[in-house]
Structure 1
């Protein structure tokens, strides 16, 4: 008899817990989250990003475009955490 009584008490506690959780969930007022003007994942306007998108639309022709090559180099440097190399001076300028 001891086992049956313990099982009954356990079942009553479980049912009481389930009913309490259900009542709490049903009485909870769901307030919609405030809408944000800007999506969370969207970063501020980045000229490099715009250039990379333009180069993406160019397709294979972008491989010969100097602006695209420079944008890819800058993007690669950002990704790898490198500081951009200083602009090399043209050795024919003084001649």
Structure 2
């Protein structure tokens, strides 16, 4: 048997094994616990911050002047960035970021 024929036989055997493994995996039934089937995943469960963000989204440009939206955005930004201690913000004042030392206004 020459090299080409041997390579073809090995390729056919490999494809046959792959097709058989795929067919077996597709026919396998997945066992689910009964508790997990009745609960919503955490990503789909409604949460107060998510509802607040939806409200701010619906407000549109007015949300830029809403102190609740500014506070919520600051909390979400801190959570996204992984900051342990969020910036201290007052509920009555707008949220401002610290000036960058390299900006022209800071000089």
Specify if TM > 0.5: yes
- Output the CA distance in 2 between the equivalents of 1:76 and 1:20: 50
Q: Which residue does the alignment assign to 1:6?
A: 2
Q: CA deviation at 1:62?
A: 1.1
**Unmatched tracts of structure 1, length 5 or more:** 89-95
Structure of higher CA gyration radius: 1
Q: Count residues in correspondence.
A: 82
**TM-score relative to the length of structure 2:** 0.51
Cα RMSD of the aligned pairs, angstroms, is: 3.2
Q: CA deviation at 1:86?
A: 4.8
Within 5 Å, give how 1:1-95 maps onto structure 2.
Answer: 5-7=1-3, 10=6, 11-26=8-23, 28=24, 29-32=27-30, 34=32, 36=37, 37-39=39-41, 42=43, 45-82=46-83, 83-86=85-88
Stretches (4+) displaced over 4 A? 32-36, 85-88
**TM-score relative to the length of structure 1:** 0.56
**Unmatched tracts of structure 2, length 5 or more:** 91-107
